[in-house]
Amino acid sequence: MNEGEIFGLLGPNGAGKTTTVGMLTTRVIPTEGWARVRGVDVVAQPTIAKQLIGVVSQSNTLDRSVNVWENLYFHGRYFGMNAREAHTRADESLELFRLTERAHADVATLSGGMAQRLMVARAIMHRPQVLFLDEPTAGLDPQSRLALWAILGELNDSGQTILLTTHYMEEAEQLCRRVAIMDHGRLLALDTTEALKRSIGADTVVTVSSDERLDELARHIEGMEKVTGVHVVDQQVRVALSGSNGILPRIIGYAEDGGFRVTDLSVAEPTLEMVFITLTGKDLRE
Amino acid sequence: MSPRARALSQVRSPRASSIAAFKALLIRDVRVLGKSVPLFIVRTIMQPLLFAFVFTYVFPKIGQGVGGAEGQEDFSSLLVPGVVAIACIFQGIQAVALPLVTEFSYTREIEDRVMAPLPVWSVAVAKITSGAVQGILAGVVVFPLATFVPATDVVLDVHWIELATLLVLSALVGSSLGLAIGTRAKPHQVPLIFSVIVLPVTFLGATYYPWASLDPIPWLKWAVLVNPLVYMSEGLRTALTPQFPHMPVPVIYAALIGFIALLSWQGIEGFKKRVLA
């Protein structure tokens, strides 16, 4: 990872994203190989590595025995701040993350979005070199998700290096400049989002809906000119192709010539989702 | 959000970082205890209070004695060290084991403390330490109860050095037992902790009778030696009521230290297994 970037680790559930983050955050001991954060070997020197990282894990790990403000205060103390410093920083963090009003609330009473904000506030309180977020917006309502994206964007603008894992394509596309795509514990691709999209050799993705025989329709369309990939996803046929001029009538005509009835069509630019489907032959949500 | 100047975090040596984090973990536990003082007192005194009240106040008043009418006075005195020992072992379960079961399962919130910059084993040692502090406090809270509730006179002959050292060791046995249990038990097994561990340990812990008085039941006398509470009760008996028969003092110290080593090792290994993969 480069300093100051937001790096995305993208893959379906069970792809090994959480395990990868676990290794980098000293929680999972690699069976072989090594893991380094900013040059520090996390297996040999976990106590040093932990000082360099901030972690927002998938589940809510706020300390239920103490209130909102104390969650931050004690985090500061764990990381070596003295009482006064931790006090000031806890106040500042609550202000920054718009949680001051809830300072003395029980953490169990926070909404999902607020709990997530508090976890991010806590994770960056000791100014980590790298902030790790594991599926940060899973389970959040759309509004809270947008709010968290804004927060992460601002943190990154101020120089915070961020690694996030996600199985939401939009999230990776929205936030990350570079993305690694994983499946079954293996790294399939690593590049900027633009380069990954170019890598599938298409500039247009057409989604074709039909009532019936989707697999046959997909095979039929594969025979069309300039088509670089066809996949059946979500009861639709995704067609990747280069050159978009007059493409819709051509597809309808081609499909009807083959005896298929097209019920709906839409055109879009290639997305990371298409990259993933091309690499693995399956949908991210599967 | 205002842009922040992100200072390069000042990396401290593992030693300095661990000491600061360890201290902070203890401060956090004290804060949590401070928030629940009434709860702490209730959960600590109810069992010994009722025990002392029924057996050393009600029974003598209604003419029903434990150990015969002339043994009643003895029993009130005998009960004091036993009740203090039970308080230590109860704290281990209530202050260490039960919170850990929750923090490991439903909430996973233990992870925030595991990410603090200190080795994982020292997070477990911090748990033992704060559990032991609570065990000592529990012993101190229970002591006056057992002394002043009984209807008959309680005769104590306090040996302060033994009392101080054996109370600390007893509290450490209690909290390391709590760690060993808390890192192994699943939430649905919590009721079992009480019926399978706490009850047999307390009833067969030489708490309500000196160990030597088990002479008529030799198999039991030897079987209960696997119970750490036996040494805690016997130890506190030498410190508070040495007029009763008790085990040799060096044996008690050796056994308590042995149990602390065994249970802490088991507890720390269990802790590491639960948080590292």
Query: pLDDT tens digit string along A9-66?
Result: 888 877 888 888 888 888 888 888 788 888 888 888 889 889 989 999 888 899 999 9
Most confident of A96-105, A269-278, B150-159: A96-105
With a CB-CB cutoff of 8 Å, which residues 94-133 of chain A face chain B? 96-97, 122, 126-129
Q: Among all residues of chain B, which has the CA nearest to that of A31? A: B277
Nearest Cβ partner of B21 from A25, A65, A78? A78
Q: What is the nearest CA distance from A267 to chain B, expressed in angstroms?
A: 37
Pull the structure tokens for residue B209: 């009778």
Interchain CB distance below 8 Å, A65 and B3: no
pLDDT category at A251 given cuts 50, 70, 90 is confident
Q: Which residues of chain B have pLDDT under 70?
A: 1-10, 65-73, 107
For residue B3, what pLDDT is reported? Answer: 34
Q: Say if pTM beats, i.e. exceeds, 0.80.
A: yes
pLDDT category at A100 given cuts 50, 70, 90 is very high
Chain-centre distance of CA B1, in angstroms?
Answer: 48
- Of chain B, the percentage scoring pLDDT greater than 90 comes to 47
From residue A227, give the alpha-carbon distance in Å to each of A218, A236, A241, A262, A282. Answer: 11, 16, 4, 17, 18
Average pLDDT over residues A81-106: 93
Please tell me the number of Cα atoms within 13 Å of A161 on its side-chain side.
Answer: 14
A109: DSSP letter: G
Within 8 A of B9 by CB-CB distance, chain A residues are 51-52, 126-129
Interchain CB distance below 8 Å, B24 and A77: yes
Q: Among all residues of chain B, which has the CA nearest to that of A56? A: B112
Residue from B91, B92, B61 nearest B76 by CA: B61
Average pLDDT over residues A56-83: 92
Query: What's the CA gap between A277 and A221, in Å, rounded?
Result: 17
Q: Among all residues of chain B, which has the CA nearest to that of A4? A: B6
Interchain CB distance below 8 Å, A66 and B31: yes
Determine the residue type at A193.
T
Interchain CB distance below 8 Å, B109 and A63: yes
Q: Which helix (H) or strand (E) holds A7?
A: strand A6-10
Q: Among all residues of chain A, which has the CA nearest to that of B17? A: A80
ipTM of this predicted structure:
0.85
For residue A231, what pLDDT is reported? Answer: 82
Q: Give the dihedral of Cα atoms A254, A259, A261, A262; nearest 10 deg.
A: -20
**Phi/psi at A169 (nearest 5 deg)?**
-55, -45
Does B105 lie at the interface with A, CB-CB under 8 angstroms?
A: no
For residue B221, what pLDDT is reported? Answer: 92
For residue A35, what pLDDT is reported? Answer: 83
Interchain CB distance below 8 Å, B118 and A155: no
Does A149 lie at the interface with B, CB-CB under 8 angstroms?
A: no
pLDDT category at A187 given cuts 50, 70, 90 is confident
Query: What's the CA gap between A286 and A98, in Å, rounded?
Result: 36
pLDDT category at A280 given cuts 50, 70, 90 is confident
Q: How do beta strands A204-210 and A236-241 pair?
A: antiparallel
| pLDDT at A172 > cutoff 80 | yes
Q: Which residue has the higher pLDDT, A145 or B23?
A: B23
First to last CA, chain A: 28
Does A151 lie at the interface with B, CB-CB under 8 angstroms?
A: yes
- Of chain A, the percentage scoring pLDDT greater than 90 comes to 23
Interchain CB distance below 8 Å, A158 and B4: yes
For residue B118, what pLDDT is reported? Answer: 93
Within 8 A of A97 by CB-CB distance, chain B residues are 1
For residue B92, what pLDDT is reported? Answer: 84
For residue B224, what pLDDT is reported? Answer: 93
Does A62 lie at the interface with B, CB-CB under 8 angstroms?
A: yes
Mean pLDDT computed over every residue of chain A: 86
Which of A21, A78, A131, A162 to substitute to test the interface with B, most B CBs within 10 Å? A78
Q: How many Cβ contacts (< 8 angstroms) between chains A and B?
A: 119
